[in-house]
Amino acid sequence: MDFNNEFKGIDFDAMDYPPTDEPLRQMYFMYKLRKVFDEKEKSLGRKLTYCVVTFGCQMNAHDSEKLEGILEEIGLNAASEDTADIVIYNTCTVRENANQKLYGHLGQLKAAKKSNSEMLIALCGCMMQQDDVREYIREKFRFVDVVFGTFNVFMLAELLYRRYSGEKQVIEVKKEHGKNFENSLPEKRKYSFKSGVNIMYGCNNFCTYCIVPYVRGREISRTPEDILDEIKSLVADGVTEIMLLGQNVNSYGKKYMDESEIVKSSAEYDFPELLNDVCKIEGIRRVRFMTSHPKDLSDRLIEAIKNNPKVCRQMHLPVQAGSNRILKAMNRHYTREHYLEIIEKLRASVPDIGITTDIMVGFPGETEEDFLDTVDIVDRVGYDQVFTFIYSRRSGTPAAEMEQVPEDVVKDRFDRLLKKVSEKAAERVGRFKNTIAEVLVEDMDSHDETMVTGRMSNNTLVHFKGCKEMIGKYINVKLTEEKGFYYIGEPADNLEGLAE
């Protein structure tokens, strides 16, 4: 839907009450907010600004693009956190210390608010789904203006309007999924040529260390039609690379949501099928997805990757731990043997695939032997990249009640793991040296203005001499120098005429 036309085509002034139907209701509030801001900007003699600060995973990053889209649609400009008039913290709560960190930030914002009387502070994201956090904010941080949850992102304009209309501390946190208007509200994408697309929300896995299922709700998938329609409109906007997002994309399609109801449950249409359908969309050149859970990764998915050159040669497959005892205690539902078997199948079918993972050290009850099993997995798999985490005792999860490993032991294991990880990754990335790879150019190099940076299909970063006209284009690059996690290269084709 062309939001601008809808927005401008409707006479909101003639309405006595806000419309009840979404997303029209939100457009009404955007319109009303613009009127409020017009007045403010006139008396201040300057434009109002915003800043969205994002913590956590791809889900939050994508939600922030929606928040920014709404704020830009209302005509606000982006600014830095300490000068912005509307500051939104999109929080993550996966680690226990996140709460204390947020409260620390809020202390600083309180001072900033004193020097800018216009300043409005809003908090959203996973942390706000927790009752105790909201209670604490209500009691201790009265100067926080708006609090909303992960299921309320689409209604930002309405919540801001309520605050500007005199309501004191606006708190709106839904606990369950409803329709969230992915296709019909604005989005400010960081890149014009690539975009994330939510294919499902929530998680059913209840890994014993993880808070996500408690704050993001039960797993539910968007219908294929809804997803494919969104991707088609992104393509019409110039997007060529899509990242399909979900906490466990391999279980896509078990329960669908449509118009805030679950309309069907189907075993027939699953993730491999969705992947194939996305690839069929004309104009799409690359499709990525994350996260995959090893327990649900099927042979059909491996086939779909193999047969579809548009599916990127990249697999993020969190292993978390290498010991069967720990995997069981984590409730991961796979063994190290099964995991290694998947890796073998993936490599046999898609030899150039880049494999990345998440690993946690210090899960309750982890012995030296268990830890060495984790190091062994890193050795055997040879990951291109490993995201390493120190286990955090997340209250509200079963693992928080289990016997914890002493901090100094965990720290020592973590350092040893990091060492192994960087040795192996450096070995891995070198395998493409002197070959030619297709690179989607993403940005100018932040350290050298004569260089650009982009990514290979397997997600490896490549830097090479270039110009801003290359951004968003696919360029064949010879990978001449290997630099640990990335390559320096040189364009392999004649690029004359690109700057025209």
Q: Footprint of ligand SF4 on this chain (CB under 6 A)?
A: 203, 205-207, 210, 212-213, 247-248, 293
Tell me the torsion sign for CA atoms 24, 27, 33, 34: negative
| Selected binder of ligand F3S within 48, 94, 315, 361 (CB under 6 A) | 94
Measured from the Cβ of residue 442, the count of other Cβ atoms closer than 10 Å reads 18
Judge contact between 377 and 349, C-beta under 8 A: no
Tell me the residue length of the chain. 500
Question: DSSP class of residue 320?
Answer: B
C-beta separation of 78 from 68 below 8 A: yes
Contact between 429 and 486 (Cβ < 8 Å): yes
Token output for 38:
């017009």
- The contact mask relative to ligand F3S for 118-147 (x = CB under 6 A, - = no) is --------x---------------------
Q: Judged by CB, which is closer to ligand F3S: 59, or 244?
A: 59
Handedness of CA 271, 272, 275, 277 (dihedral sign): negative
Nearer to ligand SF4, 146 or 203 (CB): 203
213 binds, among ligand SAH, ligand SF4, ligand F3S, none (CB under 5 to 8 A by kind): ligand SF4
Q: Which does 6 bind (CB under 5 to 8 A by kind): ligand SF4, ligand SAH, ligand F3S, none?
A: none
Whole-number minimum distance, CB 391 to ligand SAH, in Å?
Answer: 5
103 or 143: CB nearest ligand F3S: 103
Q: Which of 64, 93, 251, 397 binds ligand F3S (CB under 6 A)?
A: 93
Residue nearest to ligand F3S (CB): 56
- Residue 314 to residue 379: CA distance in whole angstroms: 19
Could you tell me the smallest distance in angstroms from the CB atom of residue 290 to ligand SF4?
11
Q: Which partner, ligand F3S, ligand SF4, ligand SAH, none, binds residue 69 by CB below 5 to 8 Å per kind?
A: none
| Closest CB to ligand SF4 among residues 211, 470 | 211
Q: Which of 149, 173, 156 is nearest to 60 (CA)?
A: 149
Quick note: the x/- pattern for ligand F3S over 194-233, rule CB under 6 A, is -----------------xx--xx-----------------
Judged by CB, which is closer to ligand SAH: 209, or 289?
209
Rg value, the chain, Cα: 24
Where does this chain touch ligand F3S (CB under 6 A) — which range of 35-43, 86-94, 192-200, 382-390? 86-94
Q: Each residue of 405-421: b (16+ CB within 10 Å) or e? A: beeeebeebbeebeebb
Please give the angle made by the CA atoms of 492, 495 and 500, to the nearest 5 degrees.
165
CB of 478 to ligand SF4, least distance (A): 38
Cβ-in-10-Å burial (0-12, 13-18, 19+) of 268 comes to: exposed
Can you give the binding site for ligand SAH, defined by CB under 6 A?
57, 94-95, 209-210, 212, 247-248, 291, 293, 318, 320, 358, 360, 389, 391-392, 394
Minimum CB–partner distance for residue 215 and ligand SF4 (Å) = 10
Name the residue nearer to ligand SF4 (CB basis): 64 or 248.
Answer: 248
Report which DSSP code applies to 185. Answer: S
59 binds ligand F3S (CB under 6 A): yes
Indicate which of ligand SF4, ligand SAH, ligand F3S, none lies near residue 60 (CB less than 5 to 8 Å, by partner kind).
ligand F3S
| Partner from ligand SAH, ligand SF4, ligand F3S, none binding residue 29, C-beta < 5-8 Å depending on class | none
The DSSP secondary-structure symbol of 291 reads -
- CA 73 – CA 190 distance, rounded (Å): 15
Residue 394 binds: one of ligand SF4, ligand SAH, ligand F3S, none (C-beta under 5 to 8 A by kind): ligand SAH
Are 487 and 460 a contacting pair, CB within 8 Å? yes
Q: How far is the CB of 392 from ligand SAH (least distance, A)?
A: 4
Question: Cα separation of 458 and 354, whole Å?
Answer: 5
- Residue identified by tokens 């604490």 is 136
Q: How buried is residue 402: exposed, middle or buried, by Cβ count under 10 Å (0-12/13-18/19+)?
A: middle
Return d(Cα 291, Cα 186) in angstroms, integer: 25
Alpha helix stretches (DSSP H) within 286-365: 299-307, 324-329, 336-349
Of 50, 52, 56, 217, which one interacts with ligand F3S (CB under 6 A)? 56
With CB under 5 to 8 Å by kind, the binding choice for 360 among ligand F3S, ligand SAH, ligand SF4, none is ligand SAH
Q: How many residues in the shown chain lie near ligand F3S by CB under 6 A? A: 12
**Chain residues that interact with ligand F3S, rule: CB under 6 A:** 56-57, 59-60, 92-94, 126, 211-212, 215-216
